[in-house]
A and B are shown apart, each in its own frame.
Chain A
Amino acid sequence: MDFLRPASWEEALAAKAEHPTAVPIAGGTDVMVEINFDHRRPEYLLDLNRVGDLYEWEVGEETVRLGASVPYTRIMENLRAELPGLALASHTVASPQIRNRGGVGGNLGTASPAGDAHPALLAAGAEVEVESAARGTRLIPIDDFYTGVKRNALQPDELIRAVHVAKADGPQQYSKVGTRNAMVIAVCAFGLALHPGTRTVRTGIGSAAPTPVRARAAEEFLNAALEEGGFWDNGKIITPSVAKQFADLCSAACNPIDDVRGTASYRRHAVGVMARRTLTWTWESYRGTRRASEGAA
């Protein structure tokens, strides 16, 4: 095993180009477990801790450009307003110690369906900024990023530099089921974002299919139902039947398995419950802000 310690992003890209099998390590919260338990013996470890850019974020007009290694703790503390769904998701990641080290880049690189960030990114809308020495930068839409169980759209010579997440234009929520009240891997997870600007709702489901997925049929149904009932304008409570059908469609979007963490049947059920609850919470919040702005006006 060789330990590569690039001092800059350019050096990191050069090293990855020279050694495409090199395994990037930043927070180490996935890679080191595999090494400690003898599940993996990479030829090269590519340490990204000295690449300072990866720890920075910029809040732009439309999006937040979030460095791949910005620890979850920083996201929770600093980006709660801009990225509320991701901040909530960050708070559910493992333990404080892990949140201090791990970042979204690791979740994306590992592409485990259980990664906590995925449903929030899918719901908010995001693009993954990847780069190679040979071909430069490209932006991969989050919807195209997950290609299989623990597989992603990254080329062997590419590294994840940042993720561009759409700034929240409405309420967002995130729920995760685990069999413990802290420090637990998701049995399944659900992210939901209201986008009043485009009058759309986006979702993200974790740990209930081979990859993180959106519940597209559920989104389409809800978008149509909200439009039809004039809900965005009248701010009425979403009828229980609409909420229920949305929840059922979210359950139907799952393609889960039975494993030691839970049954497929439970995952489908729980995603439905979380879909209904997160829709209620976000919609209540939307109605609240509407009322507040009307009151102010």
Chain B
Amino acid sequence: MRVNFTVNGRPQEADDVWEGESLLYVLRERLGLPGSKNACEQGECGSCTVRLDGVPVCSCLVAAGQAEGREVVTVEGLADFAKQRTCGDSCGTAGTSLDEARQWAAKGTDSQTGEGTELSPIQQAFIDAGAVQCGFCTPGLLVASDELLERNSNPSDADIREALSGNLCRCTGYEKIMDAVRLAAARQSEGV
């Protein structure tokens, strides 16, 4: 079947979709947006969390056909999404194109890798606080944390833990993730 929906502000079309495919599979394998991760595919880890019409959901449990006509925001679009939220519609959209995403090759990383990339406050906070190790849980945690700070700009520790209780991390022991969310909240309140 064919499925049409909007991802990170861009209309997307996927063809020859098998009816049992998840939104996660379509994003990763058909639209060249592998940022949402495939850790459990049973709604028990949150690595695939995306916003579906604004609501955080596990994209592994959304049938691709259920996304028809709807708006999806993935980690790849999070910086733009956050920017739009701050400055309204005047910002324009970007997002990764299919071609860009598919041109992956093993490239070196250096102190400039990703330099000039505009990050959302929560993305920057995750880097600064040391909340990223292997990074496989990171995309889902970023989408969930961003949504938390959108509706609660000054969450208590218990609020943060509750909001992120659907996102497993195996590397960090969560302490640096707590630090990152606190840091982003503090920067947000300072207007940095």
Contact = CB atoms under 8 A, between A and B. Distances in A.
Given A29-B43, A36-B41, A45 B62 contact: no
Interface stretch (B50-58, B73-81, B82-90, B114-122): B50-58
B61 A96 contact: no
A3 B2 CA distance: 11
Contacts of A2: 19
Contacts of A242: none
A183 B44 contact: yes
A149 interface: no
Contact of A3 (B1, B57, B61): B1
A5 interface: yes
Contacts of B63: 3, 25, 28, 31-32, 35, 45, 47
Given A45-B63, A96-B165, A36 B42 contact: yes
Contacts of B18: 1
Contacts of A27: 61
Interface residues of A, number: 28
Contact of B43 (A41, A98, A182): A98
Given A3-B65, A45-B65, A95-B43, A100 B55 contact: yes
A59 interface: no
A155 interface: no
Nearest to A36: B41
B108 interface: no
A28 B62 contact: yes
B56 A97 contact: yes
Contacts of A35: 20, 22, 63
B98 to A, nearest CB: 23
B46 interface: yes
Contact of A47 (B44, B58, B65): B65
Interface in B125-142: none
Interface string A175-218: 00000011100000000000000000000000000000000000
A271 B111 CA distance: 57
Contacts of A41: 20
A101 interface: yes
B72 interface: no
Nearest to B56: A97
A181 B65 CA distance: 34
B163 interface: yes
A110 interface: no
Given A1-B18, A3-B19, A182-B162, 18 more contacts: A5-B68, A31-B63, A33-B42, A35-B20, A36-B22, A36-B42, A37-B42, A95-B43, A95-B166, A95-B167, A96-B163, A97-B56, A97-B57, A98-B43, A100-B55, A101-B55, A182-B165, A183-B44
